[in-house]
Amino acid sequence: MKSRTFFNVLAGAIAIGWLFASLFSADAQGQRRNAAQPAPAAGPKVEKIDEKRFAELLKPNGKPLLINFWATWCEPCRQEFPDLVKIDAEYKGMIDFITISLDFEDEIATTVPKFLVEMKATMPTYLLVTADETAAIQMVSKDWAGALPFTVIYAPDGTMSYFHQGIVKYADLKNEIDILLRPKNETAKTDLFIIADFVKILGGHRTEALYFYENNWKIYRDEAMKRGVIESYELIEASSDTNSDFDLILITRYRGEDQFKNSEKNFEPILKELRPTGPMLKNTLKPEQFRRNLFYYSGRAVFSPSKFSKLT
């Protein structure tokens, strides 16, 4: 029976993942041993590994190395898995991508491969069996408390370039991988490039203006983030003790100026797919009747958050 000092679901776990909990009680173990074992699941072979083999797998082999830690009993892990399969397909041959399951050892030929078949996953998958879960966790990162899911990227030289605890965003993974795949002389171009549009609401039509941006501008950018077209965005409703020339500030952040230069081309298919007949409007007012784009500023971020995700 595999020890579950960390690798077990804890009721009331934090929203981003399931905390690893204490050992099952003796009664629960007895019930598990006595339960009828299901027939082996058809599908990809899952290799059992120990601490020694685990340490070897953490070392890149000339390419960026992406590793995802997960388990079938971890609901956030199941939610993010389709995006991981998509990443694997897009970067096949360009990166090494493996997943490490923290399920029970007796699920290596049943539950785990069955789930992989359902996900149509083809990346190599390993099931870690170790007597010292804490030591295994420390091999990966001292900042990892053991919660799932957990994703890490190593540069080809073995340096950890990214880690995230909780459901990882497809766009974030794509951006981090793209940075590692760029030639070294292009790496400097990956600073955040920001566009800020300043908008005046006309005729007191605040309701129509906010409806327009929430149901069009925001929808486009949500999809753009999923596709890795932009880094992030926000809409700010300006307020001041004195009368202001503008009412709204629309901010869009790009991963480098090159991404911004390609934004019009990248947004075009998004607009056609999401709003093929034009933007959604409230009260039949046209955009020029409820807002005016005054001016916009563009520039690079002087200070920005670290590329390492915060653990929450």
One domain, residues 81 and 210: no
**Amino acid identity for residue 193 in this structure:** F
Tokens of 34: 């006595």
101 and 200 both lie in a single domain: no
Same domain, 203 and 238: yes
> Terminal CA-to-CA distance of the chain, rounded, Å?
31
In contact, 109 and 40? CB cutoff 8 Å:
yes
The residue among 130, 147, 181 that closes a domain is: 181
Q: What is the pLDDT of residue 305?
A: 58
Residue 48 lies in a domain: yes
Are 148 and 230 within one domain? no
**99 CA to centre of own chain:** 15
Whether 7 maps to a domain, the answer reads: no
Domain ranges, residue 108? 26-181
Mean pLDDT of all residues in 261-266: 88
Residue 188 per-residue DSSP state: G
Give the CATH number for residue 213.
3.30.70.100
Q: How far is CA 256 from CA 162, 253, 300, in A?
A: 18, 9, 8
Nearest to 127 by CA among 17, 191, 47, 181: 47
Same domain flag for 152 and 232 = no
Angstrom distance (rounded) from CA 93 to CA 87? 12
Give the C-alpha distances (Å, rounded to integers) separating 186 from 177, 182, 233, 305: 14, 6, 24, 20
State the average pLDDT over residues 33-56: 73
CA–CA gap between residue 139 and residue 152 (Å, rounded): 12
29: confidence class by pLDDT, cuts 50, 70, 90? very low
Per the domain annotation, does 287 fall within a domain? yes
Same domain for 159 and 38, yes or no, is: yes
Closest CA to 11 of 67, 56, 73, 58: 73
- Is the distance from CB of 43 to CB of 116 less than 8 angstroms? yes
Give the Cα separation of 71 and 127 in Å (integer).
9
Domain final residue, candidates 181, 208, 236: 181
The percent of residues above 70 in pLDDT, for the chain, comes to: 80
Domain boundary among 181, 205, 228: 181
Residue 209 lies in a domain: yes
Q: Is residue 39 one of the residues assigned to a domain?
A: yes
* Gap between the Cα atoms of 26 and 254, Å rounded: 54
285-299 residue pLDDT tens: 999 999 999 998 998
The pLDDT, as a whole number, for residue 37 is 52
Q: Are residues 283 and 237 part of one domain? A: yes
Find the CATH number of the domain harbouring 138: 3.40.30.10
Within this chain, do residues 84 and 201 fall inside the same structural domain, yes or no? no
Quick one: 233 and 252 in the same domain?
Answer: yes
DSSP-derived secondary structure letter, 185: G
Query: What average pLDDT does the chain have?
Result: 82
Q: What is the largest CA-CA distance in the chain?
A: 75
pTM for this prediction: 0.53
